[in-house]
Structure 1
Amino acid sequence: MIDYIVKLNDKPTLVGIDFAFSIPWDNDLVGPRQIGDVRALWAFVDGLCDQTPDLYAGPVWTGEQSPFRPYILHTKYRGERYRRNYRRKVDDVEGNAISIYHMIGAQVGAGSFSGMRMLHKIATCHGKSIAIWPFDAIEEAKTTVVEIYPSFFYRKAGVERPRRLDLLASNYDALDRALSFYDGRRQCGIVCRSVDQADALVAAAALRKLADSAAFMYPECEGFDRREGWIFGVPVRYGKRS
């Protein structure tokens, strides 16, 4: 994934990735005493997991010395500080996203911490050519990486996310309606057999449709900490451009 993103340097490109780029920034863990900004967070996660290959972040939730562990609900334990509603500001605004610390059932917590290791590598080695929004200014970068939540794109389009069984039966009605909302269409003959494939198509169409100046806004409001990041496309009532 890193190599692919790095090679996208021939023309301006917007890359959407489905994981949380940061964590709730209002607890004892991430105060100025330990982790001061989001890059320090990514570096901390990478360092905590530096003995695990392929950017796996298992030590975040398995390591008994991990400072994240008390906040996490995992299949094998419940951290004493875990709260289901312990979410970032953008998760509350979006309304359906769950806490990054909720690691049971359908969730992106594990993948998000692995993703932070990837963001650390990108920021460390390619920070001048690749912007990670909203933490970087985007004007000078050929490639901009943003956090996305495909389920939000379906809801914005007023369409239920397609089910795997529908896709396997070549029932593309929901997918095609979502694509149409973002001025996209599935070309004749394109077969889509998994929800992940459908998500990728809809997300690509939404990124193209929404990528104007208003989309690159982040909130400036009481209680919001920019270090938490923002999901691309989620509306901002009050804000400014990064």
Structure 2
Amino acid sequence: MQAGRFRHFAAVDWSGAAGERQAGIAVALCGPEGDAPRLIRAGHRWSRADVLAWLVDALPEDTLVGLDLGISLPFADSGAFFPAWDASPPDARTLWAMIDTICATDPHLGATAFVDHPEASRYFRRHGGREGERFGANGQPGGRGRFRVTEHAQQLVGCKPYSNFNLVGAAQVGKSSLTGMRVLHRLGGTLPVWPIDPLPATGSAIVEIYTSLAAIEAGRSSGRTKMRTRADLNAALAAFDSPPFHARVPLSDHTTDALLTATWLRRAATREELWAPNALTDKIARTEGWTFGAI
């Protein structure tokens, strides 16, 4: 493992909301030498297509990119993403392709067509009290929904994950995850996605991140992971031995999430144990993926 070889560290706070340009998307980058993180295109209202183009055309060499979304859906709990659906994909990359194909006419890399699909909708909790009969654990309705193995690991370090099959509520990540999977499919393998792909010996790579993990490691409580002031951000950055963020730009919880997590990635990438979680098997890697930092 040569996890310490990366020269740049990027974090993308993502959004699955409807529409082209999203206030909830922010991109931050830092180098390896202890410099303060910076925002990419500060003040720009990003679209999902913009982020895809940046990853393809403008990403610095040897960058570890963290995407704040779920890179797959639960599989291990039921032996399938969609048990009882004969078209259920066998692995994450096939899942991405399926979602992108079904959503081909959705604008702005949206995923409405997939969650409204007559078969797929049986597994999601949607707005308006629409809950598929197979949303819950063991193929039953109700409850918090199904979770990946990595989300159980997130809970052990104090995070409060939501099921990627849940599309309701301010903290849900289902829409972000599904739209993100369309982006991952469109990258076409040009950027490896760990652990679905092996970590390459050279070049850039993508990992799934959960920004709350970075905030908790910086000393924030699990109920106070969001930062909206420069003072809170700089106190958290100091926990990772980073200089303060001085750029005079408006801050939101999305930009602070990206700035702190890019800085956390710089330190976390050198920790060999984070690349080898105890519960991560080859099959889980191919199907569910993993959240970097959850062990």
Instruction: Note whether the superposition's TM-score is higher than 0.5.
Output: yes
SS in 1 for 2:207: strand
Write out aligned runs for 1:109-124 (5 A).
Answer: 109-122=174-187, 124=188
Which residue number corresponds to residue 239 of structure 1? none
Which residue number corresponds to residue 74 of structure 2? 24
Q: Give the 3 Å change call, closer, same or farther, for CA 73–85 of structure 1 in structure 2.
A: closer
Which of 245, 248, 262 pairs up with 1:204? 262
- Aligned pair count reads 223
CA distance in 2, matches of 1:115, 1:221: 22
Which residue number corresponds to residue 82 of structure 1? 135
CA distance in 1, matches of 2:288, 2:178: 14
Q: What letter matches 2:70 in structure 1?
A: A
Structure 2: stretches of 5+ with no match in the other structure: 1-50, 137-143
Q: What letter matches 1:72 in structure 2?
A: F
CA distance in 2, matches of 1:208, 1:8: 19
CA distance in 2, matches of 1:18, 1:43: 20
Which of 99, 107, 118 pairs up with 2:172? 107
Asked if 1:71 corresponds to 2:123, the answer is yes
Which of 254, 273, 288 pairs up with 1:228? 288
Cα distance, 1:54 vs structure 2: 2.0
Which residue number corresponds to residue 187 of structure 1? 245
Asked if 1:5 corresponds to 2:70, the answer is no
SS in 1 for 2:125: coil
Which residue number corresponds to residue 142 of structure 1? 203
Structure 1: stretches of 5+ with no match in the other structure: 236-242
Q: Deviations over 1:57-89 (max 9, x none)?
A: 0012223x2x32112111121111222141111
Query: Are the aligned partners of 2:65 and 2:205 in contact in 1 as well (CA < 8 Å)?
Result: yes
SS in 2 for 1:130: coil
Could you say which structure has the greater relative contact order, defined with CA pairs below 8 angstroms and 6 or more residues apart? Answer: 2
Query: Are the aligned partners of 2:280 and 2:290 in contact in 1 as well (CA < 8 Å)?
Result: no
Q: What letter matches 2:167 in structure 1?
A: M
Cα distance, 1:219 vs structure 2: 3.8
SS in 2 for 1:3: helix
Which of 208, 213, 216 pairs up with 1:155? 216
Which residue number corresponds to residue 216 of structure 1? 275
Give the CA RMSD over aligned residues.
2.4
Q: Give the 3 Å change call, closer, same or farther, for CA 81–182 of structure 1 in structure 2.
A: same
Identical pairs, percent:
30
Q: Give the 3 Å change call, closer, same or farther, for CA 118–221 of structure 1 in structure 2.
A: closer
Mean CA deviation greater in 173-182 or 23-32: 23-32
Query: Are the aligned partners of 1:150 and 1:199 in contact in 2 as well (CA < 8 Å)?
Result: yes
CA distance in 1, matches of 2:205, 2:280: 24
Query: Are the aligned partners of 1:39 and 1:120 in contact in 2 as well (CA < 8 Å)?
Result: yes
